[in-house]
């Protein structure tokens, strides 16, 4: 295994070095800056990605037809992304101006906020773009490699997935390093920032930028891919009776483009957002946590999450080197190869992070390590639960498949019931993880540390992202490779192999989804806590009227210490206060309203695609006979237009809802709104993801020849379930995770505006 | 209109009297007992129900076939209820013993609690039973009357609905009167109760009994009716191709029995629970509210909600006298007749309750009247919203119907999206109603009064129940009448008329649903507040360890006033505490898990019914030719057995979930659990009700001849939507409303056990 040995060597060079340096800094409680390690981690990840990308591009892309198809997919995907970035740019410019106004005219925000916002969006988009660029080039190469063996197909696809994983974590750490370095070493000395503790809150704004971009990417990509998918399936498969990925289907290229813009670019932006979000939320909670621990400086508490993330990157690089198998091996062997990589990375992270925390922050901080491990374990439990409920190896999905016997209605009811039942384990897991993280890290005596511990469990859960994302992101590449194999009329064994890779990807993706969902909940909790801190801070700096104080008297006390003249603010977000109850109610409804908007968006865009495909079949009779070439580009254009038009409104909800409530019902009601949205949104997201996944696999289970197989009535009912599940699992569900965090970040960024405007309103009404 | 004049005369006799007496007691701040008015109101309602029942039974039940069919339905329904009561009896005996143990052995509850629990269950079941008895007798009579005119059909059906309405409110007030009289005039003087303020909390236990019974009735009835419905439709309509309600269908009697046990008996028990629940929750909050108002005695604050309810009963009786139309009139005229009755009752309630509050509690309490009016208005807004989203007169359902053109998948996605979107208006309405009720009644300075105001808005919303339930409950009677018309081969014009009545019922039922859902949310909020009070009370009376106090230090302070030696307990249910966040998460998942269980239950029971109907068609070839009689009874038996078996597990969740969390994570986490369940459950309940309603009406819209009409592909897709919607709207959705309240009541009743056991656990672990 020559190339694998090369990888290992490279990995060792990139890792031994920084790991050694970590332990050089053993001065407990010091203010030494470890961010240079993050620079190295970031560059290591990006170089490793570059190295793998080159190795993928060196592979043979196959025959001319395959190259042509791959090109068409590439061009469609790039055309789509260009269009998406144009729409998103308008949004970003608008928000940049708004933030600049608030910063420079009303002086309610740090002057760096507008710029941080832009860079977050930029890097998130870039992560998706690079991942997609390599994925659209790896698809034909994977198909070609699969002509040899299953193993060689996996190697190309997995390398492409690893590029995505490394780009996401590498760019995440890069953005963090750049801003940290700029703020600490340029703007702090210039006096533009008062102290180190002010840095993380500024960085939350780039989290907001990243989340905004991710929401657009997930929604836009999700709408695109599902519109194309539904259009291709409903008219091509059902009405015209031609197989999936048949070149005669005008929507087939759009369908394959959709896999890339949705499952690859969308997922990349999404996980960039999750990764960065969990780190900066925890960094922001760090400075308050450090107050309670004598041996830990603020700078250490701020940097530990990002250092852990760096260790995770290095461990992931090492882990990928162990994903290897010799020659022509079975699917099972490959699965254990993938799992070996993940487990080795996980073990490395556990050990290295223990050492890091022990040597830098000392023994008193080891509870934080425990919180991190809790996160890692919780992520795995949720992943297993996802797999259990959605894989056709287990009873729930098998039973769902048998419900197709009584038609589409029963399979729909069954799928929804399955998704709802599947929420219990993840919710209890997150509940226990939250409690363990809080109490292990010392929250019983110092709540600030406990909340920081909750953030650390999210960081821990995502610390393996470099490799788990790799095992997740290669799935769509294999899927695309299958499409190309079909369209290019390759030997059926190739399709079988790519299908096997795809199935393998589904299994590992289940774990990935578990991590994404679990970390979203924990990060959102951390952000909620940080929002509470920001309200206190905001009220310390802004003067509010007596009507404001009276109106919120049950929730808030503001006193001035007569000795020190310092304003002291105490929040007691009393759940029994009607403002809080009302916030919970409104928050609880938001995920439903958001999902409704995104599902309707898919429906409308899909309707247009159906009309277009029908039109082409009607007007060009030669298409179905194979004598005339369908107009692929018009289908891509229709999906693109539909996605752009439809993604805007639901995205705006993430901003409009907290801002409206914040201004009208005050910043405190917003806490409840966020908590309510989290309580219902987390559950709804799991339900949608798992219902969708189970329908998908129930259909595939039938297609394997069970219950009458393809073409049977059971299969038709299964297809209905799968079609309903598509927007559930690929559009609304994953977008919800982003929505929950984005709303929190928006609230954090706009908290001073809430206070100022709500105070104004109450002054006007209350005199 | 001879009979109508009789009614009016009767109504006047029953009402002028008590209303006059009300104003006799004008001593502000007095401790005079107004409960005798409630006795009169209760007896008036029951006598009025009896009078109407007799008048319905005097009508001609039609020809022999009709009598025979009606008998079969009656017998099936009674057989079902008997079976249900047997299962429920086991549950009640078990809980009675448990409560008795806690009361008599551990002395943690009042000795009256076990008995109150039993009576609540008894009366709730009785309300459903009586309503169903009359409905199963009114069905053939309605069919026969519809042979004359639409109007005469309505008169019979509406009278039967009014019996149900009056029985529900009459029995509700009766149970309240009995317990009040016993506790105040027998046990208080005997010294078994310390003071008047202790009475309402005991009465909450009969609320718990009523809610338990209602949950069983809704779930059991819902499972029965949907199993029969799906079985009849899937095999009869779809597979065998025979029309709905065809006598050759073995499940057709079960289907009609189902309408009675689900939509009538289930709804009766459900609304009994809602009605009584809102009143006692508010009574319980009354004593704390009175502390803050110098002119209002505890007894007045406790009795105002029940007096308002009594006024509502009287106004409803008067209102029903105005539901009349002469001769052969159109559907539109009848609708306005129904609406006139409701509006007159509403206006009367508004005026009379103003006078009641003004003359008894005085001007300082008028904000409470405002809160009540807010509830009435909010109920109407939610009702209109429900109608807008689910009636085929408006765009949402019409658009949903057009989505059937692209098959079942799109109509399912569209219906779910519609249901999700429809949650926004009710949630905002309830949010505003909560805030208005709280602040209008004076919550800004005295939170206790504000919470009482929230309860009063629920009482206000349900004060018209006597008549709104009448306009709701006649729908199933008309539906059944249509079935009998079909089975007895009456002139098709009869079926047309009963269908028109049914459609009319759908419109008025939408408003009824709005009231049920809205009041559930407000009542649950009131119960949440009361649970908070009970925690404080429990901690004042029970001694807890220092580990307990330390563990909950962020949420709870217990101090002993050194001067008075009184234990002072302060709760601050801080939303940012991890125990509270965890409670929210778990609570947020419960409605999903519950819905999953109830939907799966329907699926399993329906599966058995499908097999049975198929078996009969297979084994008795003569059935489809009309030469052999199908075995109706076996289908009824299968639905009965299925419902009994399946209703138990989800019902237990309502008890197990809060009790487990209360013992393991303490009584404070339970507050968050209840709030989280409310935030997600309220929204989920609306979504399920409205998705289901819209699918039902979209199908009917197609059956009217739109989009290809009956038998078209659109119609087939519409039937799939309707079938999915059935368990949504008739099983899971309405049960959720009960679940939310029952969990709160369970928590209130078991709060002392939570404290004692959780304290024990923390002592064991914390030393």
Q: What is the pLDDT of residues B710-740, one digit of tens each?
A: 889 999 999 999 999 989 998 999 999 999 9
| φ and ψ of B325, to 5 deg | -150, 150
Dmax over CA atoms of chain A, in Å, equals 90
Give B-chain residues touching A452 at CB under 8 angstroms.
none
What per-residue confidence (pLDDT) applies to A11? Answer: 56
Mutation target among B675, B716, B717 for the A interface, most CBs of A within 10 A: B675
Whole-number Å distance between alpha carbons of A330 and A149: 10
Contacts of B592 in chain A (CB under 8 A): 420-421, 423, 683-684, 687
Q: Smallest Cβ distance to B410: which of A529, A550, A603?
A: A603
The pLDDT of residue A402: 94
Q: Which residues contact A738 (CB under 8 A, 6 or more apart)?
A: A211, A214, A215, A218, A270, A273, A520
Q: In what helix (H) or strand (E) does residue A713 lie, and over which residues does it extend?
A: helix A713-727
Which residues of chain B make contact with A572, given a CB cutoff of 8 A? Answer: 572, 574
- Sequence-distant (6+) residues with CB within 8 A of A322 are A337, A340, A341, A344
pLDDT at A7 over 70: no
In the predicted model, is pLDDT for residue A566 greater than 90?
no
Element (H, E) at A754: helix A733-766
Read off φ and ψ for residue B108, nearest 5 degrees: -95, -5
Q: Report pLDDT for B28.
A: 46
Contact of A525 with chain B, judged by CB distance below 8 Å, is answered with yes
What was the pLDDT predicted at B698? 95
Distance CA A681, CA A661 (A): 18
- Taking the C-alpha atoms of A301, A303, A308 and A311 in order, what is their torsion angle to the nearest 10 degrees? -150
Angstrom distance (rounded) from CA A599 to CA A219: 10
Count Cβ–Cβ pairs < 8 Å, chain A vs chain B.
Answer: 258
Does position A246 have pLDDT exceeding 90, yes or no? no
Summarised one tens digit per residue, pLDDT across range B633-690 is 899 999 999 898 889 999 999 999 999 999 999 999 999 999 999 999 999 999 999 9
* Window 383-412 of A, Cβ < 8 Å to B: 403, 406-410, 412
Q: Do B451 and A576 touch (CB under 8 A)?
A: yes
Q: At what angle do helices A632-703 and A713-727 cross, to 10 degrees?
A: 120
First to last CA, chain A: 78
A590: closest chain B residue by CA? B424
Q: What average pLDDT does the structure give for chain B?
A: 90
Q: How many CB atoms lie within 10 A of CB A634?
A: 16
- Among A401, A575, A656, A721, the residue to mutate for chain B (most B Cβ within 10 A): A575
Determine the 3-state secondary structure of B61 from DSSP: coil
d(CA B62, nearest CA chain A) in Å:
38
CB-CB: which of B230, B234, B586 is closest to A431?
A: B586
B223 and A CB contact within 8 Å: no
Closest-CA residue to B11 (of B286, B337, B316): B316
Distance CA A296, CA A106 (A): 36
| DSSP codes, B609-664 | HHHHHHHHHHH-THHHHTSS---HHHHHHHHHHHHHHHHHHHHHHHHHHHHHHHHH
pLDDT at A28: 46
| A310-353 pLDDT tens trace | 999 999 999 998 888 887 788 888 888 888 999 999 999 999 99
Residue contact B413–A521, C-beta within 8 A: no
Question: d(Cα A690, Cα A517) in Å, to the nearest integer?
Answer: 11
The residues near B652 (Cβ < 8 Å, ≥ 6 apart) are none
Mean pLDDT of A103-116: 92
Residue A72 half-sphere exposure, CB side, CA atoms within 13 Å? 25
The dihedrals phi and psi of A559, each to the nearest 5 degrees, come to -130, 155
The predicted structure's pLDDT at residue B554:
82
pLDDT at A506 over 80: no
Distance CA A506, CA A475 (A): 7
Cβ–Cβ contact B739 with A under 8 A: no
A531: tokens are 């929002």
- Which residues of chain B make contact with A674, given a CB cutoff of 8 A? none
Of A139-153, A445-459, A685-699, B231-245, where does mean pLDDT reach its minimum? B231-245
Distance between A352 CA and the closest CA of chain B, angstroms:
28
Q: Which of A537, A555, A550, A573 is nearest to A763 (CA)?
A: A550
- Which of B320, B323, B286 lies closest to B302, judged by CA? B286
What is the mean predicted confidence (pLDDT) over A571-594?
93
Segment A635-648 shows an average pLDDT of: 90
Task: Give, in order, the Cα–Cα distances in Å from A151 to each of A321, A506, A509.
Answer: 15, 17, 19
- By CA distance, what is B724's nearest residue in A? A409
Q: Which of residues 662-681 of B touch A (CB under 8 A)?
A: 671-672, 675-676, 678-680
Mean pLDDT to the nearest integer, A113-122: 95
- Please tell me the distance from the alpha carbon of residue B204 to that of residue B227, in angstroms, as a whole number: 34
pLDDT band at B1; cut points 50, 70, 90: very low
Q: What is the pLDDT of residue A12?
A: 57
CA distance B474 to B487: 20
Contact predicate B630/B249, CB 8 Å: yes
For residue A267 the two structure tokens come to 């997922």
Would you state the pLDDT for residue B230? Answer: 81
User: Would you state the structure tokens that stand for residue B226, as one six-digit string?
Assistant: 């949907």
pLDDT over 70 at A589, yes or no: yes
Would the pLDDT of B24 be above 50? Answer: no
Is the Cα dihedral B58, B62, B63, B65 positive or negative? negative
pLDDT (tens digit, 9 = 90+) per residue, B179-206?
999 999 999 999 888 888 889 989 999 9
Query: Left if phi > 0, otherwise alpha if psi is -120 to 50, otherwise beta: which for A110?
Result: beta
Q: Which 271-300 residues of chain A touch chain B by CB within 8 A?
A: none
pLDDT of residue A472 exceeding 80, the answer is: yes
Residue B416 has pLDDT above 90, yes or no: yes
Among residues of chain B, what percentage have pLDDT more than 70?
96
pLDDT at B14 over 60: no
Instruction: List CB contacts (< 8 A) between B406 and chain A.
Output: 234, 606-607, 610
Average pLDDT (B510-531) is: 90
What whole-number distance in Å separates Cα of residue A215 and Cα of residue A383? 23
| Nearest-by-Cβ selection for A578 from B421, B450, B551 | B450
Three-state secondary structure of A342-375: HHHHHHHHHHHHHHHHHHHCCHHHHHHHHHHHHH
Give residue B669's pLDDT: 96
- Phi/psi at A567 (5° precision): -80, 125
Residue A569 is classified by DSSP as: E
Residue B634 DSSP code: H
Residues of chain A with Cβ-Cβ distance to B572 below 8 Å are: 572, 574
Pairing of strands B556-560, B567-571: antiparallel
Residue A49, helix vs strand vs coil: helix
CB A233 within 8 A of CB A460: no
Name every chain B residue with its beta carbon within 8 A of the beta carbon of A435.
Answer: 578-579, 582
Q: How confident is the model at residue A10 (pLDDT cuts 50, 70, 90)?
A: low
Name every chain B residue with its beta carbon within 8 A of the beta carbon of A403: 603
Residue B427 to residue A675, Cβ atoms within 8 A: no
Closest C-alpha among B427, B379, B528 to residue A588 = B427
CA A105 to chain centre: 34
How high is the pLDDT of residue A19? 54
Q: How confident is the model at residue A692 (pLDDT cuts 50, 70, 90)?
A: very high
Q: Angle formed by the axes of helices B733-766 and B578-619, to 10°?
A: 130
In a mutagenesis test of the B interface, which of A581, A607, A687, A731 is the best target, namely the one with the most B β-carbons within 10 Å? A581
**Model confidence pLDDT, tens digit, residues B521-545:** 999 999 999 999 999 999 999 999 9
Residue from B736, B411, B476 nearest B599 by CA: B736
Tell me what the mean pLDDT of segment A375-402 comes to.
94
**CA-CA-CA-CA dihedral for A679, A682, A688, A694, to nearest 10:** -120
Q: What is the mean pLDDT of chain A?
A: 90
Total count of residues recorded for chain A: 767
Rounded distance, CA B283 to CA B270, Å? 20
C-beta separation of B542 from B509 below 8 A: no
pTM confidence score? 0.94
The mean pLDDT of A178-192, rounded to a whole number, is: 92
Residue A97 to residue A105: CA distance in whole angstroms: 11
Distance in angstroms (rounded) separating the CA atoms of residues B368 and B495: 47
What string of H, E and C letters represents the secondary structure of A435-449?
A: HHHHHHCCCCCCHHH
Which chain B residues are within 8 Å of A600, Cβ to Cβ?
414, 417, 421
| Residue B361 clears pLDDT 80, i.e. is over it | no
Task: Give the Cα separation of B418 and B461 in Å (integer).
Answer: 26
Decide if B437 contacts B456 (C-beta within 8 A): yes
Q: Residues with Cβ < 8 Å from A317, sequence gap 6 or more?
A: A11, A14, A15, A44, A45, A48, A166, A466
Residues 417-476 of B with CB under 8 A from A: 417-421, 423-424, 427-428, 430-431, 434-435, 438-439, 443-444, 447, 450-451, 454
| Contact present, A320 and A14 (Cβ < 8 Å) | no
Q: In whole angstroms, how far apart are CA A245 and each of A73, A253, A288, B234, B329?
A: 13, 8, 55, 34, 60
User: Measured between alpha carbons, how far is B670 from B726 in angstroms, rounded to an integer?
Assistant: 32
Percent of residues, chain B, with pLDDT higher than 90: 62
Higher pLDDT: B22 or A522? It is A522
pLDDT band, very low/low/confident/very high, at A308 (cuts 50, 70, 90): very high
Q: Which residue has the tokens 């891509």?
A: A636
Between vectors from CA A105 to CA A99 and to CA A106, what angle results, nearest 5°? 80
- What pLDDT was estimated at residue A127? 94
pLDDT digits (tens, 9 = 90+) for B257-296: 998 888 888 889 999 999 999 999 999 999 888 887 777 7
A417 and B603 within 8 Å at the Cβ level: the answer is: yes
Least Cα distance to B693 among B255, B244, B392, B338 occurs for B392
pLDDT of amino acid A767:
55
pLDDT band at B477 (very low <50, low <70, confident <90, very high): very high
């Amino acid at each position: 295994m020559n190339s694998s040995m090369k990888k290992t060597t490279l990995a060792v060079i990139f890792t031994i070095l920084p790991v050694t340096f970590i332990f050089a800094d053993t001065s407990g409680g010091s203010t030494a800056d470890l961010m240079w390690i993050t620079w190295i981690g970031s560059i290591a990840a990006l170089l490793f990605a570059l190295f793998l990308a080159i190795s993928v591009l060196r592979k043979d892309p196959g025959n001319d037809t395959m190259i042509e198809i791959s090109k068409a997919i590439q061009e469609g995907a790039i055309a789509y992304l260009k269009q998406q970035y144009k729409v998103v740019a308008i949004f970003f410019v608008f928000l940049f101006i708004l933030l600049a106004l608030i910063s420079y005219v009303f002086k309610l925000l740090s002057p760096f906020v507008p710029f941080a916002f832009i860079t977050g969006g930029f890097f998130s988009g870039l992560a998706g773009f690079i991942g997609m660029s390599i994925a659209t080039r790896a698809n034909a190469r994977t198909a070609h490699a699969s002509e040899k063996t299953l193993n060689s197909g996996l190697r190309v696809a997995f390398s492409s997935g690893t590029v995505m994983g490394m780009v996401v974590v590498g760019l995440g750490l890069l953005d963090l390093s750049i801003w940290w370095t700029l703020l600490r070493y340029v703007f702090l000395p210039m006096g533009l920032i008062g102290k180190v503790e002010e840095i993380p809150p500024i960085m939350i704004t780039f989290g907001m930028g990243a989340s905004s971009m991710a929401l657009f990417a997930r929604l836009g990509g999700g709408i695109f891919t599902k519109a194309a998918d539904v259009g291709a399936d409903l008219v091509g498969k059902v009405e015209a009776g031609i197989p999936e990925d048949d070149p005669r289907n005008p929507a087939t290229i759009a369908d394959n483009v959709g896999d890339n813009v949705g499952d690859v670019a969308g997922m990349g932006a999404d996980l960039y957002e999750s990764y960065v979000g969990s780190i900066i939320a925890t960094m922001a909670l760090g400075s308050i946590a450090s107050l309670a621990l004598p041996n830990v400086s603020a700078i250490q508490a701020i940097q530990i999450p990002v250092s852990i993330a760096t260790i995770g990157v290095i461990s992931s690089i090492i882990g990928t080197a162990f994903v290897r198998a010799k020659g022509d091996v079975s699917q099972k062997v490959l699965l254990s190869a993938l799992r070996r990589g993940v487990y080795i990375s996980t073990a490395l992270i556990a050990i290295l992070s223990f050492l890091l925390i022990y040597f830098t922050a000392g023994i008193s901080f080891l509870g934080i390590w425990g919180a991190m491990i809790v996160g890692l374990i919780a992520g795995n439990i949720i992943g297993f639960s996802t797999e259990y409920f959605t894989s056709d190896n287990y009873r729930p999905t098998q039973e769902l498949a048998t419900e197709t016997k009584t038609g589409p209605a029963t399979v729909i009811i069954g799928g929804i019931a399955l998704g709802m039942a599947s929420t219990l384990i993840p919710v209890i897991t997150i509940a226990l993880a939250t409690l363990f993280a809080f109490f292990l890290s010392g929250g019983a005596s110092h709540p600030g540390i406990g909340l920081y511990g909750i953030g650390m469990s999210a960081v821990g859960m995502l610390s393996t992202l470099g490799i788990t994302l790799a095992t997740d992101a290669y799935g769509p590449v294999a899927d695309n490779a299958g499409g190309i194999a079909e369209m290019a009329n390759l030997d059926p064994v190739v399709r079988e192999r790519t299908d096997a890779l795809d199935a393998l990807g589904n299994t590992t993706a289940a774990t990935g989804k578990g991590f994404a969902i679990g970390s979203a909940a924990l990060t959102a909790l951390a952000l909620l806590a940080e929002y509470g801190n920001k309200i206190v801070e905001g009220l310390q700096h802004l003067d509010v009227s007596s009507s404001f104080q009276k109106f919120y008297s049950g929730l808030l006390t503001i006193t001035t210490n007569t000795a020190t003249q310092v304003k002291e603010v105490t929040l007691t977000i009393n759940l029994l206060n009607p403002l809080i109850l009302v916030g919970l109610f409104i928050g609880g409804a938001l995920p439903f309203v958001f999902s409704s908007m995104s599902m309707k968006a898919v429906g409308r865009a899909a309707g247009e695609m159906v009309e277009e495909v029908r039109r082409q079949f009607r007007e060009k009779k030669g298409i179905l006979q194979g004598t005339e070439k369908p107009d692929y580009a018009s289908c891509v254009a229709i999906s693109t237009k539909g996605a752009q038009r439809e993604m805007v409104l639901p995205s705006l909800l993430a901003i409009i809802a907290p801002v409206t409530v914040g201004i009208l019902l005050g910043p405190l009601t917003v806490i409840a709104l966020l908590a309510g949205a989290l309580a219902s949104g987390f559950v709804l997201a799991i339900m949608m993801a798992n219902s969708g996944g189970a329908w998908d696999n129930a259909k595939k289970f039938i297609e394997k020849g069970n219950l009458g197989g393809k073409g049977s009535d059971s299969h038709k009912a299964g297809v209905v379930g799968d079609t309903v599940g598509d927007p559930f699992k690929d559009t609304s569900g994953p977008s919800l995770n982003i929505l929950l965090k984005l709303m929190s970040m928006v609230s954090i960024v706009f908290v001073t505006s809430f206070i100022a405007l709500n105070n104004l309103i109450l002054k006007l009404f209350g005199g």
